[in-house]
Structure 1
Amino acid sequence: MLTKISDTLFRGHGPIKILYPGLAVSKTDTGIGSIGRIDHPEIHGNTIIKMHPHVNDEILSYFRSGRAEHKDSEGFEKTIGKNTLMLMKAGKMFYHEEQIIGEGEPLEGLQIFIRPGKKDLKPEVIFRELEEVHSENEWRLLGSPTAETNFQFSSQTWLYDTKLLKDATIELPKLEREGLTYLLYVFNGILKVNEDIVLKKKEGLIIKDELIDIKADVDSELVLFITDENGEIFKGGMYSGNQQYFS
């Protein structure tokens, strides 16, 4: 099964556009398995997102341009940007603040809200330094349920990215499991999937039990989510949980 996610599915009128991917396929759940919500901010100029709480969310900050100064209730302070990613595991209660540094390029990226495997886990903040900003024409594993990366989700969730250069092709990564659901997201660029599905920036494709070929019409930045919809998750997170938002 292939289901296209159009950019018209995004919510919000400000600099942060919000995608509830489940709205593309469900009338009862705003998420897909452990993938609760995807925010795509494009923020110009100095901005402060004041200290605010998260409860039972696992939030990965994946910025591709710009920088932000992060502070949180666990005592961490760090500048994050295209070479420094951050995973906040909110658990029972967690507060953080972001000050967007408006000098130079705007802040653009994703804030990815993953549903935890269990309720009220211990809060934790993890940073990852990337040797290269992009992984060209190869999938790079950013997070998984196991210790193969330092971004370890508590649910059955995998996260990859790649920069697919013009006319290059790529297949989905092969995991030694069956019955997984894939969500391909175009952060930037234009793709053709199986030669007949066109995806542009802020569009995606939900993939179940299908083999696909992906080709870049232009240099394109891709993010790939994989979830086991039968895995254990907690759907009551403040932002990642089911929002009962249907129209």
Structure 2
Amino acid sequence: MLQKISNSAFKGHGPIQVLYPGLSMADNDSGIGSIGRIDHAHFEGKFHIAMHPHINDEILSYFRTGKVRHLDSEGFSETIGGKRLMLMKAGRRFYHEEDIDGEAEAQEGLQIFIRPGEKDLEPKVLFEDLDELYSENEWRLLASPEPASELQFSSKTWIYDIKLHKEVVVPLPSLPAKDLTGLLYVFNGSVLVNQTVGLNKKEAIIFRQEELSIHGDTDTELVLFLTDETASIFKRGMYSGNQVH
């Protein structure tokens, strides 16, 4: 099964556009398994996002350009962006604010809202420093449920990225479990999947039990999400939860 999500599925017209990936599946859930919501942000200039709460969300901040200053109720004050990633595990309650400096360089990235494995876990903030900004033509594991991951989800969720060069073809990475559902997202560039489905920036494809051949039409940045839809999750997080009423 292959299901394309076009960039018209995003909601909002400001610097943050929101994708609820499950809405394209018409199955009465705004998410897909543990993948609750994906925000694609693009800021130019200085912005301040005031202190605000999250409840039962696990949020991976994946910024490719620009810098963001993060301050939270757990006492962390950190600058993230590029090679420094952050996972906020909100649990029962968590507050944070952000200062975005997009003057010298526009800030662009994803905030990825993952559903937790259970309700009201202890809040926690995790950071990871990448050796390189890009993983050239090889899949790189960013976060997973495995204890060996610096950024560890409480649900059965895996996230990878790759920078695929023009005319290079790659398959999916070796999957960490059987019967996973995947979402392949184009952050920048364009690809051709299985020689039939073209994807451009801010488009995605959902797949279940499919082998994929991914051809770079241009130098392209991809993010791959994998989820076990049979595993336990909490679907009523503040932002990651099911928004279909």
Q: Sort the TM-score into its range (normalised by shorter chain).
A: over 0.9
| Corresponding residue of 1:156 | 156
3-state SS, counterpart of residue 153 of structure 1: coil
| Corresponding residue of 1:37 | 37
Q: What percent of counterpart residues are identical?
A: 60
| Corresponding residue of 1:229 | 229
The alpha-carbon deviation at position 147 of structure 1 amounts to: 1.4
Residue by residue, what CA displacement relative to the aligned partner does 1:205-247 show, whole Å, maximum 9, x if unpaired? 00111111000010000000000000000001000000116xx
Structure 2 gap ranges (5+):
none
| Corresponding residue of 1:127 | 127
| Corresponding residue of 1:10 | 10
Pick which of 99-108 and 170-179 moved more.
170-179
Write the letter of the residue equivalent to 1:94. F
| Corresponding residue of 1:109 | 109
Counterpart-to-counterpart distance in 1, 2:218 and 2:85: 25
The alpha-carbon deviation at position 56 of structure 1 amounts to: 0.1
The alpha-carbon deviation at position 196 of structure 1 amounts to: 1.3
Residue 77 (1) aligns with residue 77 (2) = yes
Provide the aligned C-alpha RMSD in A: 0.8
Counterpart-to-counterpart distance in 1, 2:110 and 2:60: 8
Counterpart-to-counterpart distance in 2, 1:69 and 1:101: 8
3-state SS, counterpart of residue 24 of structure 1: helix
Write the letter of the residue equivalent to 1:36. G
Counterpart-to-counterpart distance in 1, 2:124 and 2:194: 40
| Corresponding residue of 1:242 | 242
Write the letter of the residue equivalent to 2:227. T
Counterpart-to-counterpart distance in 2, 1:217 and 1:200: 9
Write the letter of the residue equivalent to 1:62. Y
| Corresponding residue of 1:25 | 25
Counterpart-to-counterpart distance in 1, 2:26 and 2:141: 28
| Corresponding residue of 2:178 | 178
The alpha-carbon deviation at position 88 of structure 1 amounts to: 0.1
| Corresponding residue of 1:137 | 137
Residue by residue, what CA displacement relative to the aligned partner does 1:24-47 show, whole Å, maximum 9, x if unpaired? 102410000000000000011000
Normalising by structure 1, report the TM-score.
0.98
The alpha-carbon deviation at position 179 of structure 1 amounts to: 1.2
The alpha-carbon deviation at position 89 of structure 1 amounts to: 0.1
The alpha-carbon deviation at position 176 of structure 1 amounts to: 4.7
| Corresponding residue of 2:206 | 206
3-state SS, counterpart of residue 162 of structure 2: strand
Higher fraction of strand: 2
The alpha-carbon deviation at position 13 of structure 1 amounts to: 1.5
Residue by residue, what CA displacement relative to the aligned partner does 1:105-129 show, whole Å, maximum 9, x if unpaired? 1110000000000000000001111
The alpha-carbon deviation at position 177 of structure 1 amounts to: 2.4
3-state SS, counterpart of residue 14 of structure 2: coil
Matches within 5 A, 1:77-96: 77-96=77-96
3-state SS, counterpart of residue 106 of structure 1: strand
Normalising by structure 2, report the TM-score.
0.98
